[in-house]
Amino acid sequence: MVLYLDLMSPYAYLAAARAEALLGERPDFEPVLVGAIFALRGSGSWGLSDARATG
């Protein structure tokens, strides 16, 4: 099992620390940069859009 972690997210450490207990096995950690993925896709975070107020 692979767990993708955003290197820039302060919450990634918390997810990694609990992953094995929640998943029942130790995942392989794969670092990603979500900002780079957004840039390649030509989109951005919903948190920076009008949808934030309703989310």
Q: What is the pLDDT of residue 31?
A: 93
Per-residue pLDDT tens digits for 2-52:
999 998 888 898 989 999 999 999 999 999 988 888 888 887 777 777 777
**Phi then psi dihedrals of residue 7, to 5 deg:** -65, -20
Per-residue pLDDT tens digits for 26-35:
999 999 988 8
Q: Within 10 Å of residue 34's Cβ, how many Cβ atoms?
A: 15
